[in-house]
Amino acid sequence: MFHQPDSARKKSRDRGFTLVELLVAIAALALLALMSWRGLDGMIRTQQATREQGEQQAVLQTVLAQWNADLNALMPLEHMQALDWDGLVLRLTRKSSGAVDNGAVVVAWSQRNIGGQPQWVRWQSPPVRTASQWHDAWIQAGQWGRNPSTSQQSRETVLLPLAQWRIYYYRGNAWTNPQSSDASNGTNAPSSGTLPSLPDGVRVELSLPAGRSISGKLTVDWVNPLRINSRS
């Protein structure tokens, strides 16, 4: 029987991997690397989406907190409107939120195209202490919502992207269009020379644009505290 010499067997062992074996090993490593990268990429995308959703949720909560704070601080003054919706701008007179009582301020909420994207925006006047100051601020708030000047824009805050928004008042035990004066719908028009009274509630319907972590329709109701007190 022929026996391979020890030197031949040693030479065969020292020869190493064949080209086919190397190619198979490289392919296996590449597949493992691809699978690992896809898993890592998916984890990074998930973390990014979670972070974006958390940031957008925080912004939305802050904006809605300001919305409720403005309504809760409504300040009805004699011969001055406390709340008005004209179909584009919501104007309101509220107490100043400063540490020192600075009287009242006029606040306006509207939607405007900024940088090619519709945004929800808020404007606030300086403190007003006289009827003349209030009237000037009230007029400026209406102008700001339609064609703002540079000085008026300096007092605005861009809040969040908003595709559409609608306002409803709760009057006569029903949600109605604030601009409606149809008594059958529960919205009685004020008599001549009088200002409209505050509604029992205010509803805002927000349409958040698609393509974001938080999108779709959101409805927020505010209940007039005076209505609760009057029925307690």
**With 0-12 CB in 10 A as exposed, 13-18 as middle and 19+ as buried, what is 121?**
buried
Q: Helix, strand or coil for residue 170?
A: strand
Name the residue with tokens 């309101």.
Answer: 92
Residue 37 CA: distances (Å) to CA of 23, 27, 44: 21, 15, 10
The tokens describing 226, both together, are 């005076």
Bridge partner list, 169? 176, 202
- Output the tens digit of pLDDT for each of the chain's 232 residues: 555 555 555 555 556 668 777 777 787 777 777 777 676 666 667 777 678 778 888 999 999 999 999 999 998 888 888 999 999 999 999 998 766 667 899 999 999 999 899 999 999 999 998 999 999 999 999 999 999 999 999 999 999 999 999 999 999 899 999 988 643 344 344 444 455 688 999 999 999 998 887 889 999 999 998 775 544 4
**With 0-12 CB in 10 A as exposed, 13-18 as middle and 19+ as buried, what is 150?**
exposed
Report yes or no on whether pTM surpasses 0.75: no
Cα–Cα dist 30/217, whole Å: 46
Residue-wise DSSP of 103-163: -EEEEEEEEEEETTEEEEEEEEPPPB-SHHHHHHHHHHHHHHTTS--HHHHTTEEEEEE-S
Half-sphere exposure of 94 (CA within 13 A, CB side): 22
Half-sphere exposure of 167 (CA within 13 A, CB side): 20
Which residue, 137, 136, 131, 78, is CA-closest to 107?
137
Length of the chain: 232
